[in-house]
């Protein structure tokens, strides 16, 4: 029989890479806690209609990229392609609009899009995101940006930059869309086939197109600038946001071409980029979505948020990772024989009580094997237990760095390990 493989666009995450995932997740949790955002976990699949309405029928996500299936009851379900629509669905469904209209939430988990897999882009990918629902103030947009910025800084990403735009509101966005359509209709011959398709459906998406001929069209001096179409309220909102960002010391540039792929965005749209992946690469983005709740059948509820793809960030962190991070703290327990295994398992309960991480290898092998294995795992301290030690009621502790071996009682062993292995570096069992 042939060997089974993971589905295209998915992968196993394990080994040293896991530490980077944990680092990102822990950073997200701690920053969320500092800013007072609560975690929300929504289902992996939702009704297809949620995304058709909440992401937008005209988007590439809904048109081409969703994992949609019928369950045995004939319901159309979709693996979530993004996190904001489910969060807003939960907000409305749980009645927050009535009893607690202002919430600050974050989420973290896998998302699914049927796309061509490439470095940092998978069909099952992972995102974390922050959503502040119920707040109109541009200061809340600034807080969301500050959270993103704080997380990237905390992770050590360098050469960060912020691009920002406003997509307008129900009053001024339609005028811009009309101007865009007129502009593109005159030049539709120069657009790629995808964009010809987008022209009537979702002309804003053309601004995202990377095809060279479309880029040339976008660079035309006659290209309508979104900023020129903003109404007074939208201008004011943006001006206040930019003023706050300046006060926060977060540098930004206005990019009138920046749009978000999802239909429900209004006013603020932003992207954080880093210069580290060669070209300036987006590591996260977001914006305001004051139209989303109504698209889902609720009352009008303002909201602002951002999401970041974790695969990209892992790639960036892998680049700067040093060898030392593979070292494990704790102690390697090397039993020689069945009896040793049992005694060491009993010892491991004592180690647990003292918060000392350990790894026991039950391979029934020679001392030479165990020492090699401990070395490969980067563990400094090895406890050896053979027949002789059991008879004398002692443990042999070997320091893999100095090569020194000492014979210790259980009490002496615990004391020594507590001295040598500080709780702070117990990265291993967390």
Residues engaged in binding Zn ion (CB under 5 A): 168-169, 171-172, 192, 195, 209, 211, 214, 231, 234
Q: How far is the CB of 226 from Zn ion (least distance, A)?
A: 11
Query: In this structure, which long-range contacts are made by residues 239-248, counting pairs with CB atoms below 8 Å and at least 24 apart in sequence?
Result: 240/138, 240/139, 241/138, 241/139, 241/141, 241/142, 241/164, 241/268, 242/164, 244/138, 244/139, 244/142, 245/142, 245/145, 245/162, 245/164, 248/142, 248/146
- Report the distance separating Cα 385 and Cα 151, nearest Å: 45
Q: How far is the CB of 352 from Zn ion (least distance, A)?
A: 59
Q: How far is the CB of 246 from Zn ion (least distance, A)?
A: 22
SS3 379: strand
- Report the distance separating Cα 161 and Cα 120, nearest Å: 20
DSSP 153-217: HHTT--SEEEEEEE---TTTHHHHHHHHHHHHHTTGGGS-HHHHHHHHH-GGGGGG---HHHHHH
Of residues 171 and 342, the one with the C-beta less far from Zn ion: 171
Give the residue carrying structure tokens 């992968």. Answer: 11
Of residues 78 and 266, the one with the C-beta less far from Zn ion: 266
| Nearest-10 Cα torsion for 359, 364, 368, 370 | -10
Q: How far is the CB of 215 from Zn ion (least distance, A)?
A: 8
For 10, what's the count of Cα atoms within 13 Å in the CB-facing half-sphere? 9
Q: How far is the CB of 60 from Zn ion (least distance, A)?
A: 11
Of residues 19 and 257, the one with the C-beta less far from Zn ion: 257
Of residues 55 and 199, the one with the C-beta less far from Zn ion: 199
Q: How many CB atoms lie within 10 A of CB 265?
A: 26
Among the listed residues 89, 90, 103, the one whose alpha carbon sits nearest the alpha carbon of residue 36: 103
Beta strands in 336-374 (DSSP E): 358-360
Q: How far is the CB of 196 from Zn ion (least distance, A)?
A: 8
Of residues 159 and 210, the one with the C-beta less far from Zn ion: 210
Q: How far is the CB of 92 from Zn ion (least distance, A)?
A: 24
Q: How far is the CB of 199 from Zn ion (least distance, A)?
A: 10
For 118, which DSSP code?
Answer: B
First CA to last CA distance, the chain: 39
Of residues 195 and 379, the one with the C-beta less far from Zn ion: 195
Of residues 234 and 259, the one with the C-beta less far from Zn ion: 234
SS3 63: helix
- Report the distance separating Cα 112 and Cα 93, nearest Å: 23
Q: How far is the CB of 378 from Zn ion (least distance, A)?
A: 49
| Nearest-10 Cα torsion for 386, 391, 393, 396 | -30
Of residues 43 and 174, the one with the C-beta less far from Zn ion: 174
Of residues 60 and 389, the one with the C-beta less far from Zn ion: 60
Q: How far is the CB of 212 from Zn ion (least distance, A)?
A: 9
Of residues 231 and 408, the one with the C-beta less far from Zn ion: 231
């Amino acid at each position: 029989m042939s060997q089974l493989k993971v589905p295209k666009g998915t992968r196993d995450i394990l080994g040293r890479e896991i530490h980077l995932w944990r680092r990102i997740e822990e950073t997200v949790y701690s920053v969320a806690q500092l800013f007072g955002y609560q975690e929300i976990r929504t289902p992996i699949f939702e009704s297809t209609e949620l995304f058709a309405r909440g992401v937008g029928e005209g988007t590439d996500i809904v048109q081409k990229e969703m994992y949609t299936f019928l369950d045995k009851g004939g319901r159309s379900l979709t693996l979530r392609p993004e996190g904001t629509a489910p969060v807003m669905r939960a907000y409305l469904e749980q009645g927050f609009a009535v009893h607690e209209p202002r919430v600050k939430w974050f989420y973290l988990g896998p998302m699914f899009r049927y796309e061509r897999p490439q470095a940092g882009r998978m069909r099952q990918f992972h995102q974390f995101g922050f959503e502040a629902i119920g707040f109109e103030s541009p200061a809340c947009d600034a807080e969301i940006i500050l959270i993103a910025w704080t997380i990237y800084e905390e992770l050590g990403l360098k050469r960060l930059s912020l691009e920002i735009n406003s997509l307008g509101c129900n009053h001024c966005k339609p005028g811009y869309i009309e101007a865009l359509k007129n502009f593109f209709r005159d030049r539709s011959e120069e657009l790629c086939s995808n964009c010809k398709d987008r022209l009537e459906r979702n002309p804003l998406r053309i601004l995202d197109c990377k095809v060279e001929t479309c880029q040339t069209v976008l660079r035309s001096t006659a290209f309508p600038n979104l900023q020129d179409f903003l109404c007074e309220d939208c201008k004011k909102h943006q001006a206040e946001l930019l003023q706050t960002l300046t006060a926060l010391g977060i540098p930004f540039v206005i990019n009138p071409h920046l749009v978000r792929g999802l239909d429900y965005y209004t006013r603020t749209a932003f992207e954080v980029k880093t210069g580290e992946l060669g070209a300036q690469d987006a590591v996260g983005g977001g914006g305001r979505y004051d139209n989303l709740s109504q698209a889902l059948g609720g009352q009008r509820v303002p909201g602002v948020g951002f999401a970041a793809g974790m695969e990209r960030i892992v790639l960036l962190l892998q680049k700067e990772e040093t060898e030392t991070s593979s070292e494990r703290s704790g102690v390697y327990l090397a039993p020689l024989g069945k009896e040793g295994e049992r005694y060491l398992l009993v010892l491991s309960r004592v180690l647990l009580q003292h918060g000392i991480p350990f790894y026991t290898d039950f391979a029934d092998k020679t001392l030479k094997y165990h020492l090699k294995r401990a070395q490969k795992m980067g563990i400094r301290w090895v406890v050896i237990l053979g027949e002789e030690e059991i008879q004398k009621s002692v443990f042999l502790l070997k320091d893999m760095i100095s090569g020194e071996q000492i014979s210790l009682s259980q009490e002496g062993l615990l004391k020594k390990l507590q001295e040598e292995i500080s709780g702070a570096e117990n990265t291993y069992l967390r």
